[in-house]
Amino acid sequence: MRADRVIALAGLMIMVLLVPVLGQRSGPASAGRPTGPEPRLANIRQLTSGGENAEAYFSADGQRLIFQLTADPTSASSCDQIYTMRADGSERRRISMGGRTTCGYFYPDGQSLLYASTHLASPDCPPRPSFARGYVWPIYASYDIFRARPDGSALQRLTSTPGYDAEATVGSKGRIV
């Protein structure tokens, strides 16, 4: 056997033996409990409370956030809606018009928003999937992609094809979706 292969095999064996040892932690940190203040972040502030808040994204200038919120996750008539707010948490405004929504983004110029919604099929929330086997992201064929002004006005449908039209994003210059 060539010397380089012997060295490679020896290194691999050492790694196999050390990985379980190096992966072990001792003390309170191994229980997943915080051990003190977060050393890498400062000025952390909670901006939302209540409901289920997800997929928050900043505008290009960092002044606003767009996010989805299910106000009452225990209610079958409540599902994800698109909201915007200032980066300090003020001026929260619902943008979407019903149905279920997802994946909201600001266009780079800040003059438009992009999101997906099922509201044209029905203003009501579509049926929830079963979570009996764990988390499931439902693939509703009634999703379409929309563009609107930051206040939700001038809603423009961008897709009208059958199938799951959601989870789009905006190109860095705003010309491509």
Residue 60: helix, strand or coil by DSSP?
A: coil
Rounded to an integer, the average pLDDT of 142-169 is 95
Lowest-confidence range among 22-26, 81-85, 100-104, 157-161? 22-26
The pLDDT > 90 percentage for the chain reads 60
Q: Give the Cα separation of 19 and 23 in Å (integer).
A: 6
Model pTM score: 0.75
Rounded to an integer, the average pLDDT of 162-169 is 93
Residue 8 phi, psi (nearest 5): -65, -45
pLDDT, tens only, 76-120: 778 999 999 999 999 999 999 999 999 999 999 999 999 999 999
The pLDDT > 70 percentage for the chain reads 81
The answer to whether the beta carbons of residues 100 and 55 sit under 8 Å apart is: no
Q: What is the pLDDT of residue 77?
A: 77
The answer to whether the beta carbons of residues 165 and 116 sit under 8 Å apart is: yes
Minimal CA–CA distance to 114: which of 70, 63, 161, 60?
Answer: 60
**Could you tell me the two tokens for 49?**
């409370």
Residue 13: helix, strand or coil by DSSP?
A: helix
pLDDT, tens only, 127-151: 988 889 998 889 999 999 999 999 9
pLDDT surpasses 80 at 23 = no
Q: Give the Cα separation of 125 and 105 in Å (integer).
A: 21
CATH of the domain spanning 52-157? 2.120.10.30
Domain range annotation of the chain:
52-157
pLDDT surpasses 60 at 14 = no
Residue 45: helix, strand or coil by DSSP?
A: coil
Q: Give the Cα separation of 43 and 58 in Å (integer).
A: 17
Q: What is the pLDDT of residue 110?
A: 95
